Structures are given as structure tokens and as C-alpha cells.
Amino acid sequence: MPTLLEDLNFANNNIYGLVPASWFDASLAESFGPTLPVSLKSLNLSGNIRLTGSLPLAGSGFQSLLSIDLSGTGIEGDLPPSWANFPALQLLDLSGTDVRCSLQLQYGQLRCESCRRSGCFSRV
């Protein structure tokens, strides 16, 4: 029986470059490169300061994704509204990034708990 990847932890791994658009949208995989497995429950890319660019649009298919930690990366820009497409997401940590958000900002079931420059979202 095949094992499905559920936890992917590349924290503090000196990853650099732009976040691929295909990572969060399986429909782009054929055209733009690999996507994250839809079985994924936890993604941790924290501490990779040279991981840059803006957050890509999020597609559907990630029904099991519970947490995304992008804290301490070089990611910037606005949080795309499509990130509300993660129905099981309980934690989105963007602390220490330049991703723009507002204290009143609400995405689906996620709300911003604390935002200075950016912050951590958790399920309400």
C-alpha cells in the first residue's frame, strides 16, 4: 500500500527563489512544474529568508491541509483571497514576512490573530 506524504518540513533549509505558482494549484502542474501532494496536512518553509516573491493563487484539491508556516521567509505582497480555498486550514503563519494583511481581514474560517507587519491566522 503506498504511503501518502502528509508532513513536509523544510524549515531553515536555505531554500531560495520564488514560490512556484504550481505548488498550490494542481491544475497548473503540467504547464508550470510540480505541485504539492494533495494528501499534505502540514507545510513548514519557515526560516528560509531567501524564499521570495508573492504568494501564488491557491487552487482547490487541498482538502487535508491543516497548517502552513511561512514565517521568516522573504515572501511579500497581498494574501490572495483564494487562500480561503483550504477548507481544513487551521494555522497560517506569516509572521516575519512582508505579506500584507489587516486585523479585520477574514478569509473563510481563518482570522488574523495578531498582525504587526504580518501575522498568524488561526481557525475561529
Give the count of domains, the chain.
1
> Is 84 among the domain residues?
yes
At residue 104, the pLDDT reads 40
pLDDT digits over 95-118, tens only? 888 887 643 445 555 555 444 444
> Is 109 among the domain residues?
yes
Contact 35, 22 (CB under 8 A): yes
> Is 30 among the domain residues?
yes
Model pTM score: 0.81
At residue 8, the pLDDT reads 92
3-state secondary structure the chain: CCCCCCEEECCCCCCCEECCHHHHCHHHHHHHCCCCCCCCCEEECCCCCCEEEECCCCCCCCCCCCEEECCCCEEEEECCHHHHHCCCCCEEECCCCEEECCCCCEECCEEEEEECCCEEEEEC
More confident residue, 48 or 98: 48
Residue carrying C-alpha cell 501518502: 4
At residue 1, the pLDDT reads 47
> Is 2 among the domain residues?
no
Integer angstrom CA distances of residue 26 from 31, 60, 106, 107: 10, 8, 25, 21
> Is 1 among the domain residues?
no
Q: Which structural domain, as residue segments, surrounds residue 41?
A: 7-123
Mean pLDDT of the chain: 77
> Is 57 among the domain residues?
yes
- Residue 104 in grid coordinates: 479585520
Nearest to 92 by CA among 72, 113, 67: 67
